[in-house]
Amino acid sequence: MSCNARNLASMLEHCRNHRALERAMIPNPHRQHRVAFSVDGEQRRMAVHEWGDTRNPRVLVCAHGVTRNGRDFDVIADAFCNDYRVLCPDFPGRGESDWLATAEQYVIPNYAIATRAMLHDLGVQRYDWIGTSMGALIGMVMTLDPAHSMQRFVVNDIGPTIERVALDRISETIGRWPVFPDYPALAAALSTTIASFGPLSDEQLQHLIKTSCQRRIDGQWEMKADPKIGDAFRIAYAQPPVDLWPLWQSITQPTLILRGANSDLLSPETLEKMLVSHSHSQSVTIGNTGHAPALMDAPTIARIKKFLG
C-alpha cells in the first residue's frame, strides 16, 4: 500500500471513529425555558430543560434528587422524546435555576409551586411523572393537584418511611461542598458520591459530573447548587418526622416503584408496605445499585417504557 493510500485509509478510519463517538455522545436538551414563580412574594425563575415536540400532548416530567438537577435525565429524556414531550426542571437552587432567599424556603411545597407554574406556563394538562428521591416526594404532592392531571407515577428509590442511616449520611455532607482548585479534583470527589447510582459508562459518569459543576471566575470549581439546601435539609431533619403514609395511600395513579438493591434510604420492608397499601403499584429492584438509581441503563429504561405504555 502506498503512503497516500495508507494516509487515506487512516483518515477514513479516523472519520468512522469520530462519527461513532458522536453517535455515542449523550445529546443535549432540545430547548430550555425560564419559568417564573413566586415564593413569599419574591419572584424567581426555574430552568426547565425540554425534549421532543412541543405539540405532543403526551408529557413526561422528570424530577431530580435533592442535590442534583434536570440534566441527570438527559439519557432517559433522549430515549423518550420521540413518544413524549419531556420536561426536566432544575428545581430552585440547583443547576441553571435561581436560588431562593433563605434556607427555610427550600421545602417541598415551594417546589410544588414552581412545578405548577411550569405546567401552567407550558400548557400542560396531563402528564406522567418520574421522580428520583426528592423528585418523587414532589410527585406525591402533585398527585393531589386538581388543575393538572398526573396519569402514571414512577417513584425512584424513596418511600413514606426514610431510613435514618441514610438521613444521617446525607445530613453530614449536603451543602458543605468545598471549592476545588481544578476540575480533576472535583471529578475525583464527585465520582465517589455518584458510585452509588449504579454501574455507569465512563461517558455517563463524566456527564453527571460535568452537569453538576461550574467553573468560577477565579478558575476554581464548585457545585451548581445553593449551599443553603444543606441548611434546609438539617432544619427539616431536626423536626419530628412527617407521616407520609396517608399521602401515599391517597395516591390513585398506577405507580412503579424502583429500588436500588443496596439502597440505604428505601428499605425492603418499606417497599413491601408500599406495595401492600397501594393496589395499583408494582416494583423493580435494580441490582448493584444504591441510592439512587441513575436510570441510564437500557433494561431500566425499557422497564419504565413498558410501564408508561
Please give the distance of CA 70 from its chain centroid, rounded to a whole number.
Answer: 5
Per-domain residue ranges of the chain: 26-308
Question: Taking Cα atoms as reference points, which of 277, 232, 286, 236 lies closest to residue 258?
Answer: 286
Count Cβ atoms below 10 Å from residue 171 Cβ, excluding itself: 17
pLDDT at 7: 40
Q: What is the pLDDT along the chain (309 residues), one digit of tens a residue?
A: 444 444 434 433 433 433 333 345 899 999 999 999 999 999 999 999 999 999 999 999 999 999 999 999 999 999 999 999 999 999 999 999 999 999 999 999 999 999 999 999 999 999 999 999 999 999 999 999 988 999 999 999 999 999 999 999 999 999 999 999 999 999 999 999 999 999 999 999 999 999 999 999 999 999 999 999 999 999 999 999 999 999 999 999 999 999 999 999 999 999 999 999 999 999 999 999 999 999 999 999 999 999 999
Per-residue pLDDT reduced to its tens digit, 138-168: 999 999 998 899 999 999 999 999 999 999 9
What are 179's three cell numbers? 471549592
8 Å CB contact between 117 and 273: no
Count Cβ atoms below 10 Å from residue 298 Cβ, excluding itself: 9
pLDDT at 17: 39
CATH of domain 26-308: 3.40.50.1820
- Alpha carbon of 197 to those of 55, 214, 288: distances in Å? 33, 21, 9
Phi, psi of 261 (to 5 degrees): -60, -30
Per-residue pLDDT reduced to its tens digit, 258-286: 999 999 999 999 999 999 999 999 999 99
